[in-house]
């Protein structure tokens, strides 16, 4: 019951944080992703800006009278709720190295969100602009960007949150305990963190 | 990172990538994923009728005079299933333990996913203003949390009863 309460608390905190911070976060995301895209393109024509909960794609070479396409960013960033829900299950989350794990994980998630926006914008350029797409993107790059976009939306965003929690947060509190403990049993636990080998796993009859 | 951790990470990433490529292949999508999604839609329509919603299914679409949803990848529970199976295959366990975990886990995930589809449709009809929040954030996260919870519970069972937290 306590674990369920912690998950619920983490989930609600994550949801509140994600929902309220998204407008500001999207502006930051737009700035970083725009810089990354412009670094890859010649001429540097892409402009990204946040509008409501979406990112609007603008280009200097779009006709001034045409509508500007936009991306729903919520789909790309909501895995922070999943990550914080999982982080809330960690014992000693606020007392030890887990805090550093959470901070590093959030930075990695931000970097992944920037890459996800880049992949989505490039996939849009590569597949949705008809003759322009065909003229500027070959079959390989079309498939590459479309696959990157789809992978992130389908499983990548979940896997990233899970793996960051599993390796950077959940595993973090065990290390100081293991280094302090003199017994071989504690050492074998530390050695088996995150996916023990069968040989190192205590089978526990007594 | 310990060798066992690296092994788990590599196995998980490789397995998940292989599963992703498998379901991304068009014939697999057309002949396995889409028919499976249509089955979910038909069952959901029956469940919605049981709670008084007048709906019908057309392919992967559930529709009523008031609202309609198209159930796509991301809403059919396949993503949670792939994550769960990849994690169970990456974790050291016997084939029997894996088979039991995968069968039980997938059943629970798909049972809950049916509830997700039904509840989202109900929200779309009766509380449209919160539909998108529940669709995009709440249910997606809840289903993956369920998959992770199943994996942790199973890993405790596969680890001979040792609390999984003690190893992490």
Of B74, B92, B162, the CB nearest to A195: B92
A 72-91 → B contacts, CB under 8 A: 72, 74-75, 78-79, 81-82, 85-86, 91
State the ipTM, two decimals: 0.86
Does residue A184 surpass a pLDDT of 90? no
Taking the C-alpha atoms of residue B55 and residue A128, their distance in angstroms, rounded to an integer, is: 33
B 91-150 → A contacts, CB under 8 A: 91-92, 133, 136-138, 140-142, 144-145, 148-149
Phi, psi (degrees; rounded to nearest 5) at A2:
-65, -40
What predicted TM-score, i.e. pTM, was given to this entire model?
0.84
Please write the tens of the pLDDT for every residue from A126-178.
999 999 899 999 999 999 999 999 999 999 999 999 999 998 998 764 444 44
**Is residue B45 within 8 Å of residue B58, measured between CB atoms?**
no
Burial (CB count within 10 angstroms: exposed 0-12, middle 13-18, buried 19+), residue B8: buried
Strands (E), B65-142: 68-70
Q: Which residue positions in chain B have pLDDT lower than 70?
A: 160-168
Q: What is the pLDDT of residue B163?
A: 42
Nearest-10 crossing angle of helices B139-158, B95-126 = 160
Does residue A118 surpass a pLDDT of 80? yes
Please write the tens of the pLDDT for every residue from A5-45.
999 999 999 999 999 999 999 999 999 999 999 999 988 99
Could B137 and A81 be called an inter-chain contact, meaning their C-beta atoms sit closer than 8 Å? yes
A 144-173 → B contacts, CB under 8 A: 147, 150-151, 153-155, 158-159, 161-163, 166-167, 170-171
**Is A177 in CB contact (< 8 Å) with chain B?**
no
């Amino acid at each position: 019951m306590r674990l369920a309460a912690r998950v619920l608390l983490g989930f609600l905190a994550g949801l509140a944080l994600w929902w309220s911070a998204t407008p500001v976060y999207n502006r930051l995301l737009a700035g970083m992703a725009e810089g990354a895209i412009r670094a890859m393109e010649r001429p540097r024509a892409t402009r990204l800006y946040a509008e409501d909960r979406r990112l609007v794609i603008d280009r200097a070479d779009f006709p001034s009278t045409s509508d500007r396409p936009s991306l729903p960013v919520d789909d790309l960033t909501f895995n922070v709720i999943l990550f914080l829900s999982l982080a809330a299950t960690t014992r000693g989350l606020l007392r030890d190295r887990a805090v550093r794990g959470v901070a590093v994980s959030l930075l990695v998630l931000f970097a992944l969100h920037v890459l996800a926006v880049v992949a989505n914008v490039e996939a849009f350029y590569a597949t949705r602009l008809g003759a322009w797409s065909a003229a500027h993107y070959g079959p390989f790059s079309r498939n590459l960007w479309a696959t990157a976009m789809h992978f992130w939306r389908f499983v990548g965003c979940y896997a990233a949150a899970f793996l960051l929690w599993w390796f950077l947060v959940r595993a973090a509190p065990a290390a100081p305990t293991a280094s302090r403990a003199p017994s071989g049993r504690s050492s074998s636990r530390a050695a088996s963190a995150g996916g023990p080998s069968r040989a190192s796993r205590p089978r526990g009859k007594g | 990172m310990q060798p066992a951790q690296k092994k788990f990470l590599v196995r998980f990433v490789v397995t998940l990538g292989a599963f992703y490529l498998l379901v991304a292949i068009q014939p697999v999508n057309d002949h396995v994923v889409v028919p499976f999604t249509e089955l979910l839609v038909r069952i959901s329509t029956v469940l919605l009728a049981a709670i008084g919603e007048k709906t019908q299914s057309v392919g992967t679409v559930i529709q009523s005079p008031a609202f309609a949803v198209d159930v796509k990848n991301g809403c059919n529970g396949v993503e949670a299933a792939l994550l769960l199976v990849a994690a169970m295959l990456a974790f050291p366990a016997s084939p029997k333990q894996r088979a039991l975990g995968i069968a039980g886990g997938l059943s629970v995930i798909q049972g809950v996913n049916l509830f997700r589809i039904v509840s989202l449709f109900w929200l779309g009809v009766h509380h449209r203003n919160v539909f998108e929040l529940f669709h995009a954030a709440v249910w997606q996260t809840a289903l993956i949390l369920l998959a992770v919870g199943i994996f942790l519970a199973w890993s405790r069972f596969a680890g001979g009863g040792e609390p999984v937290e003690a190893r992490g």
